[in-house]
Structure 1
Amino acid sequence: MSMRTGRVRHLSVVPNLSDTDEPADDSATDATRRRLVNLVLRVTVDHTRPQIWRRVRVRSDLLLSELHAVLQSALGWEDRHLHAFSVRTAGATRRFEMEETLDDEPDDDASSEERVRVDDVLTAPGSTMTYEYDFGDGWTHTIYLEQIDSDIDDLRSVCLDGARACPPEESGGPSRYAQSLEIAADTSDPEHAALIARWGAGFDPARFDVDAVNAVLHSFDVGRSVLAEAVAAAPAIGKLFDRVRPTEVPSLMALLPRCELTIESSVDLPVAEVAMAKFTWFLDRIGDDGAELTGAGYLKPAFIAAIREELDWGLGWVGPSNREIDHHQVSDLRDAARHLGLTRTSKGRLLRTKLGAALAEDPVGMWRHAASRLPLGKESYETDAATLFLISLAASASATHRNEMLIETVAELGWASEDSGVFDAQFAAQATVSFLDLIGAHGPRFYFRQEVSDSPSWSRRFARDALLS
């Protein structure tokens, strides 16, 4: 993985905190997990009088492509035409298109509806988005998040209420349909008979049958593809597949079901104590008063000696030096604590942040916080590469399978050749991989760059939690 001879320094993830008493941001105290809930949505067909509307309840991790199928059935459309979703944010419009549309007309400003969850767009009660159907006729719908329901005993999509029938397909859009309603109500109109024949004698524009709608909704095949399940569960995987064609990455597709992303986090205290041991020890050693640094800003030799003697590194260190600059293990630990927002420097001392003090004696909280910060990196190539390594770890992939997957995927992403794919991915993911090395997720032999790696049993769980965060 990352090179230790003539060692390349970590990619920058967050800036150093300055030498001030400025408090740390505590916003990341809890892992930013997307909790599964039910969402109650009111869907109105725009520009219809009387208004056509439905109230539906759907699970929050539904993909927009899956919401499309629910809307078609709840409203009564027949899915004959193209569609798209959009939302206005900060004065700009984000569009979520059909995969087929993006294949035919690539658009860097649009995302695939198959990679975005409903709760990525509708984030709080009052949030709205637009659903367009049949661009020729111009039917638009406003989707309004009315309520978040934490009761998830039943996660099936259900129609709760509604009014009026869906317009027939090919009815010309809102204005034309309004004219047709007037014609249908006037038996003396010369177009009346032809219109009723086209609509069918049984069509009643005022009729709405919620039981009939739910019979259709409940007949859906609720099974998801492996990719849909992975995208719905793991935001980083969704972002990755915005730029990757599943057919071109068979090795990656083979790993996804082995990640078991439908399993909820179940970390317990003994496991968290082992995995987070270096961080809890480091924060305890710094203490409330902080640790004095050398004039050059390094930890003092006595602190380095304690790191060597009191922490389990699996294999011995090189040489007797107690200088921080001579041992990447120390700089790895210090960098990782800073990246996680646990430490800062001020007036020549290394201090715990408020977050670091809060998590110093909470290994489970530390596990969840650390998982929530991965993958590390600001650039898409960094997070893409790190996501691939997390998938490999969560799936317990062999080195051979992992490397095949890396070569395929980075080539598909277009930023590495087959000859350099593994090396480029390792370099891009260095911050994340080095963090996993540090906590022992790859095993001590891996950390010291031996050929054999004995990953601990908890490493899959940590990688899975990182993907789910």
Structure 2
Amino acid sequence: MPGSGMIAVMDEPGNVPAFDLRITIAGTDPEIWRRLLLPESVTIPELHEAIQKAFGWQDYHLYGIRTVDRKGQPRVIVGTEEAADELGAEAAAGVVLSELIDPSAAGTSKLEYEYDFGDSWIHEIEQLGPAEIPQGSIQCVDGAMRGPVEDSGGIGGYADLVSKLGDPEYRDHDGAAEWLEGMTGEPASDFDPAAFSLEAINTQLAQLARRLWPGPVSAEDIHTVLRPVQWFLDEASPAGLELTKDGYLKPAIVKAAMTALGWDEDWPGTARQEIHARPVLALREQLQEWKLLRKFKGRLVLTPSGRRVGKDPQALWDYVADRLANPEAAAVKLATRLAVHWLVEGLALSYDKRQRLLQEALNRAGFRMPGGGDVPLDAASDVDFGVRSSLRSLELTDTRWQQGPEVTDAGLKFLLDVQRRLADGGA
């Protein structure tokens, strides 16, 4: 077919020039190192995030870079503008790696990346030569040893921790094991300083690349994410949906929703009363909370906002993203910020850990109960449940009604949009 070759080429992302970097944590024995391929266009903040993922760091601390750039100028670059001003250094935002090292020149680059100015983890970066990589990707192609544990005290402290954990007879073995489990959530019995999984690292890097370079939002992305919402708005237009005398959707509508949205297979049970069909009930209540639908004279009808955005997919995307980013309650906004962050980062947190982290965040932010006491775990759990219910009204993941953070490309674009709106709206 004429032109088919061109179409095939256009459909493939193709390769782009890349850095081939060997990154070693100085002073480690055995060496802890990774070999990373990153696009030549990579910025310093993007390099920082790639190093964090590749070594298993948690991004708890500041980072900085010391080097002499390609023009022979000494450069000291620090992650945030605030820290850069404080330290009299250059902020990382806007700096690209190719300003500092030549991607075509092999050999030691005189580039040092330091993470955690207290523990002082120095990562020596060597450029191995020119390379290519699929567009929009970051890859780890080799390496050795697991990354050090956060806040373990630098080279000496981590070596001491490894010794204690490796010898059950060591006088402080139990204390070290307890500290590790509290810091990482990892059972001390599973700790292996020599562990290295290329597959696990590349899974993290692939998630990072999707987040850094998500691409533009397409009409298909909008349709995918908003499908449950759009179905309800379409069904309620123009005359609304008849309700039972108790104010629930009629069984025929519940059945139609479960079938149209593909929830019959995912949700156990065959009940068609809305009160027993949790996905439909939760979605309908959420659309009412977002003021897209309302009950009126025994029917579920579109609100003025629902009529305004119901036939405009982009407007509906913006409306829902704004609603998620700007809830009425400040505690819900904080919980939304955390939930979106966990999904964007691909963090598979247990139910208990989610609740504990949210509880700590709420108390740290100064939230208090009506009587003046700290926020208890059950109250944090209620807030988290509401936020997760809101997010489940959208098709963001492949396993919508199961545990797991596997966010689709379309879902990631939506969550990044919400994240931007949360940042624009402040705390």
Answer yes or no: same fold by TM over 0.5.
no
Q: Which range, TM-score by smaller chain?
A: 0.3 to 0.5
* TM-score, length basis structure 2: 0.44
* TM-score, length basis structure 1: 0.40
Larger relative contact order, structure 1 or 2 (CA cutoff 8 Å, min sep 6): 1
